[in-house]
Amino acid sequence: MKIYLDVVMILNFLIDFILLLSVSVILRRRVSLQRIMFGAFMGGISIILLFLNINSLELFLIKVLISIIMILTTFKFVNLKYTLINLLYLYTSSIILGGFLYFLNVQFSYKHVGIIFYNNGLSINFIFLLIFSPIIIYIYIKQSKSLKYNYSNYYNIEIFIKNKKYNYIAYMDTGNTLIDSLTNKPVILIDKRKLLFDIKEFRLIPYISANGTNLVKVVKINKLIFDNKEYKNILLGIIDNISMDGVDVILNRKLLEA
């Protein structure tokens, strides 16, 4: 077995660069590519661990020290919290990337697990690392930003009808500005499949959706508790379905202006 040190160093640099870049993008750190490259270069120091006769605990502590050096080199020291958050996301990205690559390696490499190089060329792992690492991190960044935006707009709400309280999961959709033209009250929307009470009295008002203009049933509610605030002049609109993950009710942007 042969290990090509120069190739391993380049590969290690590229992986560290991808990880540091992902931290920068996810946390929106203002840092130049030169600093990211320098941080990745500092991470290349870990190559010397291949030649040290040390135990597992010492190896772990040295790796932690090197990761801290990478973070400080790339993002500087602002305060302890800032540094720890950067370090946390570096390890999170590393674990996610490593887990996916390990899975791919197990699935497609029948000879070995790990970054091993042979006399006749590079193993299939090298190809996996070059091709899939950027793809995996890109998907991770995209999903992280989506989750950060979407789930920050999820709320636990309480709807009171005829002195009875009903708990729902709601989403603040800034695109929902539906107002009842007759009463000038904002309308929140609920998935009819999530109704926990019977509807006996209702009115129909026009509702513009992606499928065009429709009529939606609206009912009076006693009050709505949203974000620790109480709203009384609210109407509840009943629509066929809400396709968002785990969402029962679509809130109205007008609530933020109240």
Same domain? For 31 and 140 the reply is yes
Indicate whether 128 belongs to any domain: yes
Q: Are 12 and 49 in contact (CB under 8 A)?
A: no
Q: 223 falls in which pLDDT band (50, 70, 90)?
A: very high
Is pLDDT at 74 greater than 90 in this prediction? yes
Residues 146 and 177 in one domain: no
Burial class from Cβ neighbours inside 10 Å (0-12, 13-18, 19+) for residue 31 reads middle
Residue ending a domain, among 130, 151, 172, is 151
Let me know: does 217 contact 140? Beta carbons within 8 Å: no
More confident residue, 214 or 101: 214
Domain termination site, one of 151, 171, 194 = 151
Same domain for 247 and 126: no
Report which of residues 116 and 23 the model is more confident about: 23
The yes-or-no verdict on residue 52 having pLDDT over 60 is yes
Same-domain status, 179 and 215: yes
**Residue 110: predicted pLDDT:** 46
Domain contains 212: yes
Whether residues 144 and 179 fall in one domain: no
Residues 190, 135 within the same domain: no
Same domain, 228 and 108: no
- In whole numbers, what is the pLDDT of the chain averaged over residues? 79
In a domain, 236, yes or no: yes
How would residue 243 be classed by pLDDT, with cut points 50, 70 and 90?
A: confident
Tell me, yes or no, whether 82 and 166 share the same domain.
Answer: no
**DSSP tag of 189:** E
Tens digits of residue pLDDT in 103-151? 666 665 544 434 444 444 445 456 666 666 777 777 777 776 666 656 6
pLDDT over 90 (residue 216): no
pLDDT at 140: 73
Determine whether 212 is exposed, middle or buried from the number of CB atoms within 10 Å of its CB (0-12, 13-18, 19+).
Answer: exposed
pTM above 0.75, yes or no: no
Residue 156 lies in a domain: no
Residue 44 CA, distance from chain mean position: 28
Q: Let me know if residue 242 belongs to a domain.
A: yes
**Whether residues 128 and 191 fall in one domain:** no
**Which residues form the domain of 176?**
162-257
Q: Kindly state whether residues 25 and 147 are assigned to the same domain.
A: yes
Query: What is the structure's pLDDT at 118?
Result: 41
Angle between helical axes of 5-26 and 124-150 (0-180°, round to 10)? 10
Rounded mean pLDDT of 221-228? 89
Q: Do 34 and 91 belong together in one domain?
A: yes
Co-location of 45 and 108 in the same domain: yes
- The answer as to whether 157 is a domain residue is no
Stretch 212-221: mean pLDDT: 84
* Count of domains forming the chain: 2
Structure confidence at residue 150 (pLDDT): 63
Query: Which of 123, 151, 179 lies at the terminal end of a domain, its last residue?
Result: 151
pLDDT at 30 over 70: yes
Express each pLDDT in 154-177 by its tens digit: 889 999 998 899 999 899 887 788
